[in-house]
Amino acid sequence: QASKMSLKVQTSNITNKNDPKSINSRVFIGNLNTAVVKKSDVETIFSKYGRVVGCSVHKGYAFVQYSNERHARAAVLGENGRVLAGQGL
């Protein structure tokens, strides 16, 4: 009996699991203006491609962990080169 959870679930900060399935479901977001863009912004932008299970934001970059590889691929195709806060991802 699965129930739909609300969308405002705080995702995990864990994006560094080493199992192959996790690695292929992870997206690296480089050239990120982290002075302006926050974790919640990254989650909002990238959640339109699938279920984000983890998100970690670092100085200048971030990782988003999806529940599966198909979502990760869609995110890369959809966001690569996008200009966010004045910087091309």
Domains of the chain: 20-88 (3.30.70.330)
Q: Is 62 helix (H, G, I), strand (E, B) or coil?
A: strand
Residue partners of 51: CB distance under 8 A and separation at least 6: 66, 67, 71
Measured CA to CA, the distance from residue 5 to residue 51 in angstroms comes to 11
pTM for this predicted structure: 0.82
Q: Is the pLDDT at 3 greater than 50, yes or no?
A: no
Could you read off the pLDDT of 14-36 as tens digits, one per residue? 777 777 778 899 999 999 999 99
The dihedral over CA atoms of 5, 7, 10, 13, expressed in degrees to the nearest 10, equals 100
Could you read off the pLDDT of 58-70 as tens digits, one per residue? 999 999 999 999 9
